[in-house]
Amino acid sequence: MKIAAVVVLTAAFAVSAATARATPQTGVARLTHAQQRAIVAAREWHRGCPVWMSQLRVVGYRYHGFDGKTHFGQIVVNQKVAYAVEKVFAKLYRMRFPIRDGAFSSAYGPHPWKSGDVTASFECRNAGASPCSSSTTTHHWSNHAFGEAIDLDPRENPYVGCGMTRDKTAVSYMKRSWHRPGMVTSAVRSAFAAVGWGWGGSWFGSTKDYMHFSVNGH
């Protein structure tokens, strides 16, 4: 009977350990090999990008979804800003700021959310040109390419230039005086400002990037 009891107890511990490993974790971690492969497969990293894959970290965080439930998100950022980003998302969770989608797979999975309404950071690309011009790129690396910028709820906080946005689903959110869930508030701006980050919604001129937060505000 003792042997049977030991076997059962050992099995129980093994299941508990496996369950604990499978439970989503908050905090800062290195990218797993699977995550690295997913980012490359999604064409978000390639040779010539301004940061090495080894310089990136994944920040796991809890967030309140638009369904009112708690979800687990992961955002890929530069190792230099990872702990600052962790603090910001902890604040957003405490203030119950809603995030539509923060899943790693939505940003880098084989079938990313086609709406693009994903809160994410790292994307090895050039900075986007303003809708004010006919150009589609500035030929300069975006802060996202360094893992030092975050786009927060893109639909509710659109990129706007000359009174236009290229995202037709976000047109109603260009009217910033009509506040709705997911729109950046002064409390959200303060959470990022506390770690020294600036907001694209405060840019001078007719171009505003309401979703965008970065280390230098650009």
Inside any domain, residue 8: no
Residue 4 lies in a domain: no
What band does 113 get if pLDDT is binned at 50, 70 and 90? Answer: low
Q: What is the mean pLDDT of residues 79-107?
A: 97
Query: Residue 130: which pLDDT band, with cuts at 50, 70 and 90?
Result: low
- Structurally, the chain folds into a number of domains equal to 1
136 within 8 A of 129, measured Cβ to Cβ: yes
Amino acid 46 reads H
